[in-house]
Structure 1
Amino acid sequence: MIHGIALRYFVEVARTGSLAAASEELHVAVSAISRQIAKLEQEAGTALFERLPRGMVLTEAGELLAEHARRTLLDAQTVLGEISSRHARQGGLVRLACTDGFAHSLLPDIMLLYHQQHPATRFSLENGSPEQVRHWVETGEADIGLGFAMVDSHKVDVVLQHELPVCALLRPGHPLAGQETLSLDDLTGYPLAILERGNTVRQLLEWSFSAQGKVFSPLLSSGHSSTLHRFAARTDTIALGSRLAIHGLPECSKLLAKSIDEPLLQQRQLQLMTMQDRRLPPAVSQFLQLLAQQLREVLAD
C-alpha cells in the first residue's frame, strides 16, 4: 500500500532533484526520506529514480508515479479544504502562473474583480517562460496557468485556447502607423524591442527571419514586457509581442497593434490551463470561471 507520507517525500525529491534538497524543504532527515523512497521502489518492483552524481532523475516508471502522486496529494488538499471551509470562513488560495505580459495588468485586474466579491481568498502569482508555466501546472505547483504555446499540450487540461499571433506594437506617431499590416522588411527598417530568449515571440521571430535569410539584432532585449512597451511608446522602436500584454496599461494604451504578414508568426496559441484530470478546489474553480469569461470578453474586443 502506498502511503501519503511516502508520496509526499517522493514528490519533493522529484521536484528538487536530490534527497538533501528535499530534506531541507520538508525538515525531515535524509535517512527517513531515503527509506520511504526505497519502500516505494520495493513495492513498485523497479527503480523510480536514476542516481546520478549531480542528483536524482525520475525514471520512466518514476514519471508515471509522479503524475499520480501529484494529483493524489492535491486532491487530498482539496477535500481537506472543503471540509475546513464548512467550519471556518476561509476563502482558499488560488495559485497562478503566467508569462510576463499578463502579470502587469490583465491578471491583477481580474484578481481585483474577484477579490471584491470574495475578500477572504488569497492569491499567489508567478511569471516565467511558457515552458515554466506549463511545467508548474503539470506538477501542481500552480493551480492555473496562462501562457502561449505553439503545439498542443497533452499533460494539461486546456480550458480556453485562442489564436493570438505575434504583433508589432508601435506609437501612433510612428512612420509605419498608417499601415494596416507590416512585413519583415518593414521591421528591419526600425529598432526592435523583444523579450529575451525562451519565449514564443523570440523563437517565432528568429524562425521567420531565418526562413527568409535575414538576421535581426534587437535594440532592446528584456525579460519584462513593460520595459519594451514603455520604450516603444516614446521612440520609433517597434516592440514585438501581444496586444493583450498592453491591455489595461494606461501609459501604453495608445500603442497600436499591427499584424505582421508572416505565416510563422501566426502559429501561436493563447492557453488557459489546469492540471490534467485534477479536482480543483472551490476557490480555484470559481476564479477560473471568471478568468475564462474575462479573457473571452477581452479577446472579442
Structure 2
Amino acid sequence: MLHGIALRYFLEVARTGSLAASSENLHVAVSAISRQIAKLEDEVGTPLFERMPRGMVLTDSGQLLAEHARRALLDADAVLSEISEAHALGRGIVRVGCTEGFTRNFLPSVLAGFHVEHPRARFVLRSGTPAQVEQWVAQGEVDVGLAFSTSTSTAVHAEFSMSAPVCALLRPSHPLADKDALTFDDLFDYPVAVLERGTTVRQLIDWCCSLRGKHLEPLFTSNNSSAMHQFAALTGAITLGSAIALQGMEAEPTLLAKHIDEPLLNERFLQVTTMKGRHLPPPVSQFLETLKSALSMADVAKPRKGRTRVAR
C-alpha cells in the first residue's frame, strides 16, 4: 500500500529534481526522504527516478506514479474538505491559475462576487503563460485554470470552452475607430503594441505574418497586457487581445474592441480546465459553476462589428 507521506515526498522530489531542495522545502532530512523513495521503489518493483549528475529525473514508471499520486492526494484533501464542511459549510481554498489579462478586472470581480455568497472561502490566484496554467492544473498546483488556447489539450479536462477571437483595441479617436471591421493589413499602417511570444495572441499574429510573407515590427512589446492597454490609450497605438479580460471595471472606456476580418485570428478559444479524473472539493465545484456562468454572460464569443467598449 502506498502511503500518503511517501507520496508527498516523492512528488516534491519529482517537482524539484533534487533531494536537497526537497529537504529544504519540506523541512525533512534528506535521509528520511531518500528512505521513503527507496521504500516506494521497492514496493512498486522498479526505479522511479534516474539519478543524474544534475539531479533526479522521473522514469516512465515514475511519471505514471506521479500522475496517480497527484490525483490521490488531491482527492484525499477533497474528502477532508467535505468532512470539515459538515462543521463549517463553505470553508475551503479555491486556487485559480490564469493568463495575466484576467487578473486585471475579470477574475477579481468574479472572486469578489463569490466571496459575498461564500464568505468563509479563501482564494489563491496565480498568473502565467497558457503553458504554465496548463502545467499547474495538470500537476494539481491550482484547482481551476482559465486561459486562451489555439488547440485542445489532452493533459487537462476542459470544463468550459468558448470562442475568443483576437481583437484590435484602439482609442475612440483612432482613424480606424469608425470602421465596422479591420483588415490584417490595417495593422501595418499604424503603430502596434503586442504581447511577447508564448501567448496565443502573439502566436496567431506570427502565423498570419508567416502565411502572408509579412513582418510586423511592434512599437511596444510587453508580457503585461495592462501596460499595453495603457500605452495604446496614451499614444494612439493599436494593441491586440480580447475584451473579456478587461470586463468588470466601472470606469469610463478608453479603448474600443474591433473585429479583425482575418480567419486565422478567429482560431482561438477560452478554456476553463481542471485536472483529469480529479474529484473537486465543494468550494471549488461551486466556484467553477460561478466562473462558467460569468463567462457565459460575458457574450464575447463573436466580436461585434462596431464599437465594443473596453474599460481602462
Please classify the TM superposition score into its range, dividing by the shorter chain length. Answer: over 0.9
Q: Any conservation in 2 of the 1:164–1:269 contact (CA below 8 Å)? A: yes
2:2 aligned partner: 2
Q: Deviations over 1:77-136 (max 9, x none)?
A: 111122122234662110000001111110000111011111111101000000000100
Verify the 8 A CA contact 1:148 1:270 in the aligned structure 2: yes
Over residues 190-226 of structure 1, what are the superposed CA-to-partner deviations in whole Å (9 max), with x where a residue is unaligned? 1111112211111111111121111112111112111
82-91 or 270-279, larger mean C-alpha shift: 82-91
Q: Secondary structure at the match of 1:215?
A: coil
1:144 maps to 144
SS in 1 for 2:299: helix
Unaligned stretches of 5+ in structure 2?
Answer: 302-312
Q: Secondary structure at the match of 1:182?
A: coil
Alignment RMSD (CA, Å): 1.6
Where 1:181 maps in the other structure, the secondary structure is coil
Structure 1 counterpart of 2:195: 195
Q: What letter is aligned with 1:132? A: Q
The residue that corresponds to 2:51 in the other structure is 51
* Greater CA drift, 5-14 or 180-189: 180-189
User: Deviation at 1:61?
Assistant: 1.4
Q: Residue 278 of structure 2 aligns with which residue?
A: 278
Give the percent of matched residue pairs that are identical in Structure 1 and Structure 2: 58
- C-alpha contact (below 8 Å) 2:90/2:283 kept by paired residues: no
Contact 1:49 / 1:59 at 8 angstroms: preserved in 2? yes
Between the aligned partners of 1:87 and 1:116, the Cα distance in structure 2 is 20
Give the superposition deviation at 1:137: 0.5
Once the two structures are superposed, residues 164-212 of structure 1 have per-residue CA deviations (whole angstroms, 9 ceiling, x without a partner) of: 1111101111011111222222101111111122111111111111211
Amino acid at match of 1:287: F
Map 1:3-22 to 2 at 5 A.
3-22=3-22
Q: What is the CA–CA distance in structure 1 between the aligned matches of 2:116 and 2:62, rounded to whole Å?
A: 43
CA change 1:79–1:291 in 2 (3 A) is same
**2:114 is matched with which residue?**
114
Query: 2:296 — aligned with what?
Result: 296
Say yes or no: does 1:210 pair with 2:210.
yes
* Cα distance in 2, alignment partners of residues 88 and 256 from structure 1: 45
Residue 261 (str. 1) matches residue 258 (str. 2): no
SS at match of 2:154: coil
- Alignment-mate amino acid for residue 179 of structure 2: Q
1:13-71 alpha-carbon deviations (Å, 9 max, x no partner): 11122111111111111111111112222222222222222222222211111111000
TM normalised by structure 2 equals 0.92
**Residue 259 of structure 2 aligns to a residue in which SS?**
strand
Following superposition, the deviation at residue 7 of structure 1 comes to 0.6
Taking a change above 3 Å as real, the CA distance of residues 159 and 239 of structure 1, as seen in their structure-2 partners, is same
* 1:230 positional shift: 1.1
Q: Distance in 2 between matches of 1:102 and 1:269?
A: 14
**Amino acid corresponding to residue 58 of structure 1 in structure 2:** L
Structure 1 runs (4+) deviating above 6 angstroms are: none
Q: Give the TM-score normalised by structure 1.
A: 0.95
In structure 1, stretches of 5+ residues that fail to align are none
Deviations 1:230-254 (A, max 9, x none): 1112222011111112212345734
8 Å contact 2:169–2:255 — kept in the other structure?
yes
Distance 2:150 2:88 in 1: 43
Q: Which residue of 1 aligns with 2:305?
A: none
Matched, 1:129 2:154: no
